[in-house]
Amino acid sequence: KAGVTQTPRYLIKTRGQQVTLSCSPISGHRSVSWYQQTPGQGLQFLFEYFSETQRNKGNFPGRFSGRQFSNSRSEMNVSTLELGDSALYLCASSSGQAVSNEQFFGPGTRLTVL
Amino acid sequence: GENVEQHPSTLSVQEGDSAVIKCTYSDSASNYFPWYKQELGKGPQLIIDIRSNVGEKKDQRIAVTLNKTAKHFSLHITETQPEDSAVYFCAAIREDSSYKLIFGSGTRLLVRP
């Protein structure tokens, strides 16, 4: 079974631009969660989608948004990029049927904002 | 909200020795505790997990223990090998279906050959 895939793997943007990241979950999984990883703040939850609906949201500004498609693929968008948005963005795939279902992470997208 | 503290931040052991990483959590409603291993340039990999109705779980050289009363859980790696060198994260998640993993700050494990 194929794992979680994320595209692109690396991105370089400048301040003020916007960016869209993509995540394809494990086949059959309906939940996709997004996390931001930085050296200073560690791993922080952004939001989670299940069956095209956002179920949970972390404490990030409205510049961070996402969506999920009917095939469970998810995209995350960051508008008006700031230097502090430089991070590794990870998505995690889960069946989503229960809180204690395992979450499997993709390799991440490394975003650098100049 | 939930807070997870992880210690130590770095750990260096000789190959063949054991390694122990400890985490404490604040929210008594947390009921699922996974451990992840992250190698350089890769995403976190789930290596073992434990649910609140279990006190200990073992998978070959890796074991996790949970003390619900004290609200702490630990990862034990025996017979360490150089390929165990990585950053390890503990996490916790609440009963209320928030699907939000709260992570510890990570432990960088170095296994010296």
In the prediction, which pLDDT does B5 show?
Answer: 97
Q: Which residues pair with B55 in a beta bridge?
A: none
Band (pLDDT 50/70/90 cuts) for residue A102 is confident
In the prediction, which pLDDT does A101 show?
Answer: 77
Could you read off the pLDDT of B18-49 as tens digits, one per residue?
999 999 999 888 889 999 999 998 999 999 99
- On whether any CB of chain B is under 8 Å from the CB of A53, the answer is no
Phi-psi region of B60 (alpha: psi -120 to 50; beta: other; left: phi over 0): left
Could you read off the pLDDT of A38-86 as tens digits, one per residue?
998 999 999 999 999 998 899 999 999 999 999 999 999 999 999 999 9
Q: Which residues pair with B65 in a beta bridge?
A: B56, B74
* Joined tokens for residue A46: 């952004």
Which residues in chain A touch residue B91, judged by CB atoms under 8 angstroms apart?
43
Which residues in chain A touch residue B34, judged by CB atoms under 8 angstroms apart?
102-103
Cα dihedral across residues A48, A56, A87, A67: positive or negative: positive
Could you read off the pLDDT of A88-100 as tens digits, one per residue?
999 999 987 776 6
- CA-based nearest residue in chain B for residue A37: B43
Mean pLDDT across chain B: 93
